[in-house]
Structure 1
């Protein structure tokens, strides 16, 4: 199980959210949306400070993480976050 944030996705978040080096983005389970793993649930992102990190990666000075208590959503798989340039949107893939 791992968390991968592609450089283009990291750049998108950094610009769109006005992030500066040293800040952190929490990836969390939320109700609703089009999640591919658990119907009725999906993943969201917010700028936040970690409490109990379960997975993390650092891209361009920004820490991306999931808290330990949200790892059940991945069902022992990995999460890849990419940026679709054609549609200008973030894509989260559990694989």
Structure 2
């Protein structure tokens, strides 16, 4: 399993959330919403400190992560986080 955050997504986090080196961004599982990853669940995003990192990547000094107890969501696959300018949305795909 790996976590990939594209340059477009990193730029979006810098512009929209004011992220800078040293910040931590959590991707978490939430019940409900629309997802191509798991039925009845979707991904949420929060700017918060980690508790128990299960998967992470650092891009331009910003650490993106998922907690260990939420890795079930990925079914053993990797996760790519991208930004789609056409819809102005952050996109999550299993890889």
Normalising by the smaller structure, the TM-score range is: over 0.9
Q: Distance in 1 between matches of 2:36 and 2:84?
A: 17
Residue segments in structure 2 that go unaligned for 5+ positions in a row: none
Aligned partners of 2:31 and 2:40 also within 8 Å: yes
SS for the counterpart of 1:91 is: strand
Structural RMSD (CA) = 1.1
TM-score w.r.t. length of structure 1 = 0.93
Shift of 1:60: 1.7
Residue segments in structure 1 that go unaligned for 5+ positions in a row: none
**1:43 and 2:43 correspond:** yes
TM-score w.r.t. length of structure 2 = 0.93
Q: Distance in 2 between matches of 1:28 and 1:86?
A: 24
